[in-house]
A and B are shown apart, each in its own frame.
Chain A
Amino acid sequence: MMQGHLCILLVVIPLFAAPIAAILPRGRLPWAAALIVTSVCFVLAGMQLWSVVQDGVVSYELGGWAPPWGIEYRIDAVNAFMALIVSGIAAVTLPYALLSAEKEIPEHLIPLFYSAFLLCFTGLLGITLTGDIFNVFVFLEISSLSSYALISLGRKRQALTSAYQYLIMGTLGATFFLIGVGLIYSQTGTLNMVDLAARLPQVSSLNTIHTGFAFIITGIALKLALFPLHLWLPNAYTYAPSVITLFLSATATKVAVYVMLRILFSVFPSDFVSTTPTGDLFLLSGIAGIISASVYAIYQVDVKRLLAYSSVAQIGYIALGIGFASFTSLTATLVHLFNHALMKGALFMAIGSIIYRVGKCHMDSIHGLGRQMPWTFGAIIVGGFSLIGVPGTAGFISKWYLVLTAIEQDSWISVVVILVGSLLAAVYIGKLIEALYFKPAVDSNPAVNEVPFSMLAPTWILVLANIYFGLNTELTVGVAEHAIRVLGVTAE
């Protein structure tokens, strides 16, 4: 009985837990509530993926209203995989969050912090699970609004302006998305994704549909921080509390990528990308994004901002994968999405640990810390190698697939760009490692110790995952290939 309700439980549990966390007394209770909720959701998401892989698509009619009139939750391999990533990251984030949040967030705001966190978590899960395009918008707003609040909780005053900047850009994106949905509704008369997929081919030559498509894609691209619509991201990531930076970087953009894939290949006819200039635009954005964001990253002096630009570059790889729109390239996209969540999660956790100890993460103020915090430093090294794409790490796998696709499609410029991107990543990771290890410690910094186990353990879970998924790709590549087939793209 439970099996059938898994998908709705995944949304309802965190949704109801959020106000409860807000009214719990100060102290560690709100954290404990959030910890329990995310762990339960992680287990449920695991069960859900298992049952979908075993028994195929699960459809759930919300409130008993049959689709297309009622809202349908439709779980296939893609959603289930995404839900697992989101809840998995949330589940490792929370043990880490306890100390980090106590350090960075004023005590009286802690219950609200966890409440907003749970809301954001609800929104992200909701986006992945729903089968209704308007419902996507609703959950998108839930997650966005709560993330504005979360970002504004950062330690510095700039957190407020960056939250505001994100608010403006995010609202623009959401509005575009809504306009697009409206236009498409006007021609098809439905909001259910499966229904849309059935009706769109008949009307896909209409200008209204093309316009709607453009609005939707632009709207998601804003949320996704696709180059050149990424301007909100570096500020938001830099000034948000460490926990939020790591959670958002590992999940929020990933969910946006999922929505993009779903709309491009599942809702719209899957050749829509190649028959319109969409594919080329993605390639262009990917190439420009990889190169320019990587170069920007090299010149950053704030470590979090450096990693934020690196995220923009990594989204460029994902855009390349979407642009090629072949079976292998989309597999690469989905695998990279997962792997990038692992590597950026690990890196932002390690940087958060440094902030926990010295209170800042300016390049000049972290000199010599690598020798004082060997485990955190080790995490940065492995995470960095994965980001560069050193073989034996997860990052190598996704790049391998991506380059193979590029060769397959005779796109030699992309081949070069991907390889150059790896080299640029080696430069900025090298800078970081040099500052942490080879520069003499700053005198004004007191000697510090390694961070507590509760912060190290989650970091190293992600670090080891980076190595594990670099050596064994049965799960990642297998599920990704299955998911891409579900989206309606097949190998030639």
Chain B
Amino acid sequence: MSAGSLLLITILLPLLGAGGIVAARRNPDVREGVTLVTASLLAVLVAIIANRFLNGESFFVTIAEPLPGITISLKIEALGMLFALVAGTLWLVTSVYAIGYMRSHNEQNQTGFFAAFAIAISCTMGVAFADNLFTLFLFYELLTLSTYPLVTHSGTAEAKKGGRLYLAILLGTSIGLFLLGILITWFLSGTVTFQKGGVLTGKIDPAWAGPLYMLFLFGIGKAALMPFHRWLPAAMVAPTPVSALLHAVAVVKAGVFTLLKVTIYIFGSDFILSNDVTGGIIWIAAATILFASLVAMTKDNLKARLAYSTISQLSYIALGAMLASKSSLVGASMHIATHAFAKISLFFAAGAIYVVTNKKLISELNGLGRAMPVTFSVFIVGALSVVGVPLFAGVWSKWYLGLGAVETGQLLLLGVLMLSSVLNIAYLLPIPVRAFFGKPADGKQYTKVKEAPITILLAMIFTSSSCMILFFHPNPFYLLATLAAKGH
């Protein structure tokens, strides 16, 4: 099959899956079968594409040309490949998890849930493989819209309020700022296609490059930089599988991914370094890292704490992008993958706790660890990987980010990264400690509490062991990240 059409299939396959899910709505077993088959096919397909890409094959396809010079095109480069691999693999894992979660929790309208999920994955693939800003923007917006029904899934007043905030911030920033940035880029350079070395060199007065970069930085609301981060905690009203895959992996990573793409292929790292484009605004990311960690400490709701942790970790990637040195870009790209596996493990654990005990608050978890040892072990692995302890994958991305800060002489930023790791320990590790060693408030023992259903456990074990395996074998992510940092 031709290389370009394979790319099209990565987008069409989940869409077809969504159709199949709706068609099989009367029979839940068949419906879940469709989800699993589609997700497996997609994972295999993405793996095949990655393999062929690493063997030097190039993939390109143009779907339409709405305006002269502005096309809807798909193409593979290293960063997009990395993102697609993460999202494609984790969709399968999350589907396994979601089936257990949704059934044991007796959620309503599961057909709509699984269908919207598949559509969101289709949009994520579009974001990953977009060849130009226009295509990326198209799928970026569709991703927002397709995840909205997932956020409001429960239909409660809180869910609707969360959904409204979600749409308002994501659409507001993307139409108000991101689109404006794209328009200005087109106006100045006459192209919106991602190119090696960027397209703006010589086309823009370096003094204005900083403000333009800010349009992208804030306009890409999915990257959740402060002050446009509020949608992420608000989106936590969604069922946990959604929080796990979409709001720890696909949606937010689509944001920082876009930011990296803009940095590498629109501005170009050399242009940024030689003109000090991000010198001042890099502190926005640094501030977000620290503030979000501090806010996370104050949250008693487990998912809310994880959400603020995500905000903080996303800014690592934004920081890496803005440092724009080779090492920092490797670190930022790696962090897309390593943080994904770690954070999804944490959310899976949170969801398992909720399904079994209906508990959402950290203060209620005392003593639960002995009843659910697997779940909390998974949590510990995820937490240590987020902190960046050796033996866990998270250390690699932090290593390269730190190296980037040293390379560019930004020692203060290195300090921020260190301090943040300490804060990570402070807000993540007390949770399993409490569960294993704390005493329940009313003195009762959790004798009747068992581990979550097997599908949930399997998914958790997979993601947490990946965190460890990726420490020893960081490929193909490391390879792709180095290629991406070189602008391939």
Contacts and interface: CB of A to CB of B under 8 A. Distances in A.
A389 B175 CA distance: 9
Contacts of A470: 66
Interface stretch (A169-177, A232-240, A417-425): A417-425
Interface in A410-445: 415, 419-420, 422-423, 426, 430, 434, 438
A390 B144 CA distance: 11
B167 A419 contact: no
Interface in B156-213: 160, 164, 167, 171-172, 175-176, 179-180, 183-184, 186-187
Contact of B175 (A392, A404, A423, A472): A423
Please provide the 5 A-B residue pairs with the shortest distance between their CB atoms, ordered closest to farther: A391-B138, A471-B64, A407-B187, A422-B175, A419-B176
B137 interface: yes
B165 to A, nearest CB: 12
A414 B446 CA distance: 63
Interface string B55-82: 0000000011111100010000000000
Contact of A400 (B65, B67, B72, B155): B67
Contacts of A471: 63-64, 66, 72
B184 A419 contact: no
Nearest to A431: B164
B176 A420 contact: yes
A473 interface: yes
B257 interface: no
B83 interface: no
B42 to A, nearest CB: 22
A392 B138 contact: yes
B67 A473 contact: yes
B276 interface: no
A407 B183 contact: yes
A373 interface: no
Interface of B: 63-68, 72, 134, 137-138, 141-142, 145, 152, 155, 160, 164, 167, 171-172, 175-176, 179-180, 183-184, 186-187
A438 B145 CA distance: 15
B155 A423 contact: no
A419 B175 contact: yes
A483 to B, nearest CB: 17
B187 A419 contact: no
Interface of A: 385, 388-392, 396-397, 400, 403-404, 407-408, 415, 419-420, 422-423, 426, 430, 434, 438, 470-473, 477
Contacts of A434: 160
Contact of A397 (B67, B137, B160, B172): B67
A473 B179 contact: no
A400 B141 CA distance: 15
A388 B167 CA distance: 13
Contact of A430 (B65, B167, B187): B167
A295 to B, nearest CB: 15
A396 B66 CA distance: 10
B67 A438 contact: no
A391 B72 CA distance: 10
A404 B187 contact: yes
B171 A472 contact: no
A397 B141 CA distance: 15
A404 B66 contact: no
Contacts of A423: 171-172, 175-176
A397 B66 contact: yes
Nearest to B63: A471
Contact of B160 (A390, A420, A426, A438): A438
Nearest to A437: B149
B138 to A, nearest CB: 4
Which of A388, A415, A430, A472 gathers the greatest number of chain B CB atoms within 10 Å? A430
B125 to A, nearest CB: 16
Given A391-B138, A404-B186, A472 B176 contact: no
A471 B73 CA distance: 12
Contacts of A388: 175
A403 B184 CA distance: 10
Nearest to A385: B145
Nearest to A390: B141
A470 B179 CA distance: 16
B152 A419 contact: no
Contacts of B68: 477
Given A403-B180, A430-B164, 9 more contacts: A391-B138, A392-B138, A400-B67, A403-B179, A404-B183, A404-B187, A415-B183, A426-B167, A473-B66
Contacts of A419: 175-176, 179-180
A423 B180 CA distance: 13
Nearest to A420: B176
Contacts of B141: 390-391
12 contacts: A391-B138, A391-B141, A392-B138, A392-B142, A400-B183, A403-B180, A419-B179, A419-B180, A426-B175, A434-B160, A438-B152, A472-B66
Given A426-B167, A438-B152, A403 B183 contact: yes
A438 B72 CA distance: 32
B204 to A, nearest CB: 13
B235 to A, nearest CB: 16
Contacts of A389: 175
Which of B152, B175, B183 gathers the greatest number of chain A CB atoms within 10 Å? B175
Contacts of A400: 67, 183
B156 to A, nearest CB: 11
B174 to A, nearest CB: 10
A404 B175 CA distance: 14
A106 B477 CA distance: 70
A334 to B, nearest CB: 15
B387 to A, nearest CB: 39
Given A391-B138, A426-B167, A438-B155, A407 B175 contact: no
A470 B72 CA distance: 11
A430 B165 CA distance: 12
A477 B160 CA distance: 40
Nearest to B136: A391
Nearest to A425: B175
Contacts of B137: 391
B70 to A, nearest CB: 8
A302 to B, nearest CB: 22
Nearest to B141: A390
A471 B134 CA distance: 12
Nearest to A421: B175
A472 B64 contact: yes
Nearest to B144: A390
B170 to A, nearest CB: 10
B312 to A, nearest CB: 28
A387 to B, nearest CB: 13
Contacts of B65: 472
A363 to B, nearest CB: 15
A278 to B, nearest CB: 26
A471 B67 CA distance: 8
Contacts of A396: 66
Contacts of B186: 404
B360 to A, nearest CB: 23
A434 B160 CA distance: 9
A420 B179 CA distance: 12
Nearest to A419: B176
Contacts of B183: 400, 403-404, 407, 415
A298 B64 CA distance: 34
A438 B160 CA distance: 8
